[in-house]
Copies of this chain bind each other. A is one copy, B any other.
């Protein structure tokens, strides 16, 4: 709970973890979660996209998502972060990286910013990450899946729809 007694006039840090910290604003009451930010990529190989399915303990189920990660490497640019996550999670190397925009995950209480990229990839010979299943399907099918509820992660739904729009393929469908 928040501090008892005289409230301080500045934000009060109530938790500092390895990933997030939480502060409480006592006067105009707010609970705010601080996060280092994320990078995410829509990895395209010709007209197909590579998605990853993995267990998400926070929600208690395995989800199909675009490759993504926390920006936890000091000094690493977000495009490089996205390319690294694609390589680690799918075993595919980025040959072209293009910014697709950035989003706040839940700006009412969380400062996490997600940088989105459209990444053209090629096989790099390696396997994907252990515990992660790679799913390759046509980008247009992935967009249909997102619209039908087969993809539940907000950044993935936004990223796939933005990528299809950028590619012009959504309009031609």
Using a CB–CB cutoff of 8 Å, the interface residues on chain A facing chain B are: 1-2, 14-20, 22, 24-25, 28-33, 35, 38, 56-60, 63, 65, 68, 70, 101-114, 146-147, 149, 152-155, 157-158, 161-162, 165-166, 170-171, 173
- Cβ–Cβ contact B19 & A107, under 8 A: no
Given contacts A58-B110, A63-B104, contact A18 B32 (CB under 8 A): no
* Nearest neighbor of A106 in chain B, beta-carbon distance: B105
- Cβ–Cβ contact B30 & A1, under 8 A: no
Query: Contacts of A106 on B, CB cut-off 8 Å?
Result: 35, 38, 105-106, 110, 112, 114, 154-155
* Nearest neighbor of A109 in chain B, beta-carbon distance: B58
Q: How far is the CB of A113 from chain B (nearest CB, A)?
A: 8
* Nearest neighbor of A149 in chain B, beta-carbon distance: B101
- Cβ–Cβ contact A154 & B114, under 8 A: yes
Q: How far is the CB of A134 from chain B (nearest CB, A)?
A: 18
- Cβ–Cβ contact A104 & B153, under 8 A: yes
- State A57–B103 Cα separation when bound (angstroms): 16
- Cβ–Cβ contact B107 & A153, under 8 A: yes
Given contacts A56-B107, A173-B171, contact A165 B147 (CB under 8 A): yes
